[in-house]
Chain A
């Protein structure tokens, strides 16, 4: 479940991210710094050998201050970039500085130093101010300019001053890595300092090693990082902010608490909030009793409560609720679980709190578990701030264990959480002793793609038959989330595209898509398919791949090199049961199966077993695959070669070809 974010937070984060990818300042004055002739003459980058451009330095001077009674953040940016190639010229020579209503952008200056040391200054009339969007009193504007006379070999530099009124720099992410490599990135920071202001500015670096902050003149502190390569995105990598180096700047009171004490305090506060959100009255008790009915075991009781809270309360946060933005806005806020019951509708949070309240009413020890979202970054409990604990689930003690539940997320099955919330540290609130517990990761068997096909292969290579594919667990949740907002024809189109991406000639008919918005049942595709040219015919043989559902999917990791760790969202498994009626007049020339990948070969992380058998007329193909055993979903980059090789072998097994030979009588 996600906490809703308010407008200003989102806007602020968006803008911070944007500017964090921009640039920096000349510390203190408005003069250009001298250009080193060696840098102007250089023809090769130093940080990354194939770079098209390289920032020689990238500086930001950040100052929080009060102007009269208005707090504001003032940033001075100063960037110097060496251009090496035409690509570098293309990507770096147009500058946009976006800003909002109550910000001011001043002191823009820019110049190009050509390879023959001519200086081309940006003229004032070549700076354009535009209103990008305006609405309801809000404006996004931009000052834009093109750097004059940029050619490979040139150095460009630009700087500007930015004043953000009515805010201070708290909880902003300062990027140390950009889209180009940087020789030196430097931040100067001057915190707000007022006599009665109890908060101190703090900075925490993630995924990088910048220098310790040192005191500079005029109350600034500076930190640097050198030779930072450009950021390159890769498929199946951890979230960006879990790999890029960056600094979180924020204000907080220094309570001088040890980590254990800090989290204890937070856990206590959370519990107080939780208590106020889960008040039990007679209606809640009555509903809990009705829901539990004759269930006897704790697990059964909780499952009944889970299903009841989902079935009886319409989730207004759900795409498939059919509610418009207007209708949502009109709804009154539920102030208690009793309100939620009474109105029969509520937010995801309302549903979770109702579940918790009913569990408490039924004698369970239910708590709020605050946790992080691993689609954003990976949580580090040594960082003493709740900034990353953006979400929560309901923890219920069953025996000696804490179990976690999230009925507010419509498609999450009982016993599972959103994948973003599985395998993360959860702070279980308590009036006295909050504790950290790791949420479980659902095993591969919980997220199964089960594919069944009954086909006939014709003499000309056409494959025809009926297919049923069932998805459970996280796979089902992903499918439901993707499809629930689409019309029936769009859902069919999505299926067609999926099948045709591997078999371009496939013709689908009799399509049925089941349980799209059902929170419990598997998501199901059923269809009839005809694939002309599936098998390849030669003079006396017919070749085809028995792995109808898995062949031609391609290797997952075709690249030889890798920068980032490999990260899968969750473990999953696949089971294929296929029968193929062979064409008359043909007999198997071979039906040997590809070599298995056994759990023992992969330390129980992955396996693929393909079995084939035949009675001469029908080929039976069965494939069992899983990945992510032992909760292994994150692999360090040093192990990339092994991961790549594993998936190469999986792909080769899936593309395994069967040969039929024309019998002599045909």
Chain B
């Protein structure tokens, strides 16, 4: 994830399926010989040079993670003695152990609490902005009121405000209200920072739903509440999923917001704990490696299983705007 919570155009599409739609170059039955030949030679773009480039980049992008992953299963004495690549040297009698993980989970520097904190921070920080944004997006898209366009442009423009510029005044406000040191500071901050993008994205999706559908429901006597839940919600699932994944990954992986608003041991999430461990005990690789991978499990699972939605969200916005 990037440091920006919200690359301003991360998504905001008109046609949800379009960007990832079927490749336009699918082989057609009626294609003549020339065309078929052309598409075949297109596949041959994977010349030796291209293959080598692909493999080289893939290896460069995988080896760092893989190295730390292997290390997380090595005894701490081995980690201090030599590098992880020596596990392939059968003569050195390589050994593997789960000690690092059991230590990380139940040892003296256990991360159990912080793992729970991460979950406690992330779920409300995803649900709150979506609820508020759905409401606002519905009003912006389907309720006519004075000043609607001006307000919507203002919300859109707020996406460019870097979160850094809001932090000190927000923090002193939280202190005045007696919220400092509770989860509320992180929940509120993450929700506020996510709103402009969430409203913008959901509004664009709602706007795309055919007017006739809403009108028909209205003629049948449905009010705003009914239209919202029975007509719009089912159609909005992909948009909500795309934003929810984006926000989930951002909050789970965030360091800055948590470091500023939730540094205390009762509320700090995994990222703050691991960053501090890296700062104070940067050489304890048996701890760091296991901790790092435990913190990555959930985002990687979410990412791999819901990749389709995430990629769709990214694509829809970034290419189209």
**Do A and B bind?**
no
Residues of B within 8 A of A (CB): none
